[in-house]
Chain A
Amino acid sequence: MSSASPTAYDMKLALPLTGFLAAFFAAPLALLFLLSLQVDPKGGGYGLSQYTNFLGDLFSLGVLGSTLLLGLEVTALCLLLGYPVAWIYTRSGPKVRSLIILIVLLPLLTSVVVRTFAWIVILGRQGIVNSTLLSLGLAETPLKLLYTQGGLIVALAQVQMPLTILPLITAIGRIDPNLGDASASLGAGQWRTFVKIMLPLSLPGIIAGAMLTYAASITAFITQSLVGGGQMLFMPMYLYQQASTLQNWPFAAAISIIFLVAVLGVVTLFNLLGRLSRGYANA
């Protein structure tokens, strides 16, 4: 059907991309799922044994649990640090705004390997944090910061914070400034106005930012492997080891599917919360 309106384009234009993604995205994922049902890596019967192996193994469950917890910690830190940045942005003049946006965009567009490498330089034994602590006499020997959960959380927070800040800027910018004035004229102080008015109204931005940050930090393979080191194992590295080093494809496929479901579960949960919060913000 050729549409009469000159503003609408033919849906057929979407065919090449639909075909491309069906062939090279959907089909591989379907194959991944099929392979995860294979009982024996060398072929043979189908069943759920790879999944029961994973879910019945405390080590595997521990990896999944620590990955999900890591995402939670990084997201919390990103919100805590990112919210004030977005707040200041919406209340500044154009000069400060463009400076803030440049600072926020820089980590987003710099190579992940470069950013992660920087954290090795900062957190290492001879790094900036340790040399400052030693020269100030606050520590006697270099502290172990690299290859720790704390170091990893801070490094991941820096890498993912732009994903938290950008939706927050949009959400806070949309709040009617008169609401703040109204609250003040009714006698509420700044803190009270913030907690009772601004924070609830920016919930859609908080949830959108948290979703992006969470999904990105649990899948951040490079940062996890370089700053976390070999001692801490998270889902992406577990998947990579099983697939590449051990060549156990069916189990790696099962890990992938479980990881996929976990990420999708988190995204769905946040979407649901987002819908609820929009209703609340508009009420």
Chain B
Amino acid sequence: MRVDWEALSFRLAMGLVAFVALVLLVAPTAVVIIVSFTSGFSLRFPPPGYSLRWYGELLDAWQLHFAAMNSLKVAAWTTGLSVVLGTMAALAIARSPKWSAKLLDSFFMSPLVLPALAFGLAGLMFFSALGLPVSPMTLIIGHTVVCVPYLVRNTVAALSQLDPSLLECSASLGADRLYTFRRITLPLILPGILAGGFIAFMSSFDNVPVSLFLRDAATDMLPIRMWQDLEGKLDVTIAALSGVLIVFTVALIMVMERLTGLSRRLA
């Protein structure tokens, strides 16, 4: 049989580039995990030996604990606020044919497009013009502005997949609107709300540009602490912390994948 060189070269080229890309995507995560188990003092790769010492050091790094607690608290408040505001807004605009709903949709999405650093600066100017000093409150407000679009987008998507005949059935069987919402709509769109909430939580927990301007000096945030540590010295404790964060993230992704089919919502 004659060899189809053209088909072969095409498959080979596609496969090879895709392989390189997938390695490039995974490599950094893998490298961090391996380096975090080093027994040495530097971030040399491969490490001279393996131990859990830097994970032990992490247990005593109270500055990092403090920063992590702040980040978790702010992310939790941001997610709560985003879920309430975003879900209500999504319900209002998702199935509306009005032009105002389309306009509102673009307005709700606009924080995603604008550079977060520019918004952080604008927020700082705004609060100082109002005479409000920066505080955990201004931080949560700022984070909610940049995280709420994820809630709106995912909830709108879930609502648009909802079969309207289900709601009509419920109504024709005598259920009032609130009952229908509680028993039919909410359970069906819950995966969308959860996926949006998850993404909002992760992006708040990881946010640097808005936090840089809207936090007060006493509120040390984890990603900022890590960023400042990395600009100065290369500390292996940060590698161990990164290892913990990666495991935490992968575990959450798997839970959310089970609960909400996260990957289908992102793609």
Interface residues of A (CB under 8 A from B): 6-14, 16-18, 20-21, 24-25, 27-29, 31-32, 35, 80-85, 87-88, 98, 100-122, 124, 126-128, 131, 154, 157-158, 161-162, 166, 169-170, 189-191, 194, 215, 218-219, 221-222, 225-226, 235-236, 239-240, 243-244, 249, 252-253, 256-257, 259-260, 263-264, 267
Contact B113 A263 (CB under 8 A): yes
Cross-interface CB contact of A18 among B91, B107, B113, B167, cutoff 8 Å: B107
Nearest B residue to A12 via CB reads B92
Bound-complex Cα distance A107 to B21 (A)? 12
Name the distance in Å between B159's Cβ and chain A's nearest Cβ.
9
Contact A263 B111 (CB under 8 A): no
Q: 18 more A-B contacts (CB under 8 A) besides A114-B32, A263-B115? A: A12-B92, A18-B107, A24-B141, A31-B122, A31-B126, A84-B18, A87-B14, A87-B18, A103-B22, A108-B266, A112-B208, A114-B245, A124-B43, A158-B27, A161-B21, A162-B25, A190-B7, A253-B122
Bound-complex Cα distance A68 to B70 (A)? 35
Name the distance in Å between A78's Cβ and chain B's nearest Cβ.
9
Contact A31 B125 (CB under 8 A): yes
Bound-complex Cα distance A35 to B118 (A)? 13
Judge if B209 is at the interface, Cβ distance under 8 Å.
Answer: yes
**Contacts A6-B180, A113-B230, A121-B43 known; A101 to B267 CB distance under 8 Å?**
yes
Name the distance in Å between A178's Cβ and chain B's nearest Cβ.
18
Name the distance in Å between B223's Cβ and chain A's nearest Cβ.
5
- Which B residues are in CB contact (< 8 Å) with A35? 125
- Which A residues are in CB contact (< 8 Å) with B114? 29, 260, 263-264
Interface residues of B (CB under 8 A from A): 4, 6-7, 9-11, 13-15, 17-18, 20-22, 24-29, 31-32, 35, 42-46, 84-86, 88-89, 91-96, 98, 100-101, 104, 107-108, 110-111, 113-119, 121-126, 129, 141-142, 144-145, 148, 152, 164, 167-168, 170-171, 177, 180, 202, 205-206, 208-209, 212-213, 223, 226-227, 230-231, 234, 238-239, 242, 245-246, 249-250, 253, 262-263, 266-267
Name the distance in Å between B133's Cβ and chain A's nearest Cβ.
16
**Contacts A6-B171, A215-B113 known; A158 to B145 CB distance under 8 Å?**
no
Bound-complex Cα distance A256 to B125 (A)? 12
Contact A29 B263 (CB under 8 A): no
Contact B26 A28 (CB under 8 A): no
Name the distance in Å between A153's Cβ and chain B's nearest Cβ.
12
**Contacts A126-B42, A166-B267, A253-B121 known; A28 to B126 CB distance under 8 Å?**
yes
- Which B residues are in CB contact (< 8 Å) with A113? 206, 208, 223, 226-227, 230, 242
Bound-complex Cα distance A82 to B114 (A)? 25
Contact A14 B88 (CB under 8 A): yes
Bound-complex Cα distance A146 to B104 (A)? 44
Task: Provide 23 A-B residue pairs closer than 8 Å at the C-beta atoms, listed in order of the A residue.
Answer: A6-B177, A17-B88, A17-B108, A18-B104, A24-B126, A24-B145, A25-B111, A31-B129, A98-B263, A102-B253, A103-B25, A109-B202, A112-B206, A113-B227, A115-B28, A117-B226, A126-B44, A162-B25, A235-B115, A236-B209, A240-B212, A249-B125, A263-B115
